[in-house]
Amino acid sequence: MGMQKRFCISLVLSLIGLISIHVLSLYVKPVEITSDQLKEFYGRYVRIEGLVKENSLTESKYQVLTILDGKGKEVQVFSYKVVNVSIGDFVVVEGTVEKYMGKWEIVTNGKVWRKSKYQEKLLTLSQLASFPGKFVGMKIEVRGIVKSSSMYGFVLEDGKYAIEVISPFDCKENSLVEVEGKFLYNKRNFSYYILATKVKEIG
């Protein structure tokens, strides 16, 4: 089979998939699921929320995201349209559950958006890492996955960046949380941390 014929077949299949997703988004109400339910809802139009861990473009300019759901598990998202989200953003995704190269994923036609109710006042760990001096002493709000819990608090991660959180609140490891508190600098060990005043599980 010639290269041109293969390209045409690939293009036709992509268009069919794109049209199918668009039609589903117009007439079908998405089912809210978690990562554990992907297999159960194969071929169905679904909705899932999570934290963006990875964000990349394919050679064909399609977008591939890896998000962490409320249980801290990875879900791959393939979007035919490029969406304006960044690592550390808390997003909502709507699309169909498909299986590609043995792995479950959600395929969407650009139905990915930041959860606007909180997004404007929320910071990402990426922002804190890039401009830490700007936020020292300020009350901040961030989202992330709880890792390495101890009697003094826990480490908050977003898949790329991490920060220590001093907290009296109990949190389950791998849970998705929203943290409010003061962003501070420890001169003894030259590190930044958050002194939490509120921790809320959102996953």
For position 17, what pLDDT does the model report?
Answer: 57
**What is the pLDDT, as a whole number, of residue 110?**
92
CATH 2.40.50.200-classified regions of the chain? 121-201
How many whole angstroms separate alpha carbon 186 and alpha carbon 202? 28
Mean local confidence (pLDDT), 105-130:
81
Q: Tell me what the mean pLDDT of segment 97-126 comes to.
A: 83
State how far Cα 14 lies from the chain centre: 25
Question: H/E element holding 134?
Answer: helix 132-135
Enter the DSSP assignment of 36.
Answer: G
Tell me which fold the domain 3-117 belongs to: OB fold (Dihydrolipoamide Acetyltransferase, E2P) (2.40.50)
The pTM assigned to this predicted structure is 0.63
Q: Which pLDDT tens digit goes with each residue over 145-170?
A: 999 888 899 999 988 899 999 999 88
For 13-71, the pLDDT digits (tens) are 555 555 555 555 555 689 999 899 999 999 999 999 988 889 999 998 899 999 988 77
pLDDT tops 50 at residue 118: no
What is the rounded end-to-end Cα distance, in angstroms, of the chain?
48
Q: What is the pLDDT of residue 7?
A: 47
User: 121-201: which CATH number, 2.60.40.1120, 1.10.150.170, 2.40.50.200, 3.40.50.720?
Assistant: 2.40.50.200
> Which candidate, 82, 109, 104, places its Cα nearest to that of 93?
109
Residue 105 · residue 98 · CB < 8 Å: yes
Instruction: Tell me where in the chain the CATH 2.40.50.140 domain(s) lie.
Output: 3-117
| C-alpha distances in Å from residue 1, one per residue of 14, 15, 34, 59, 162 | 19, 21, 41, 22, 49
DSSP labels, 107-143: EESS-EEE-HHHHTT-B-HHHHHHSHHHHTT-EEEEE
DSSP-assigned states of every residue in 4-32: HHHHHHHHHHHHHHHHHHHHHHHH-PPEE
How many whole angstroms separate alpha carbon 177 and alpha carbon 48? 16
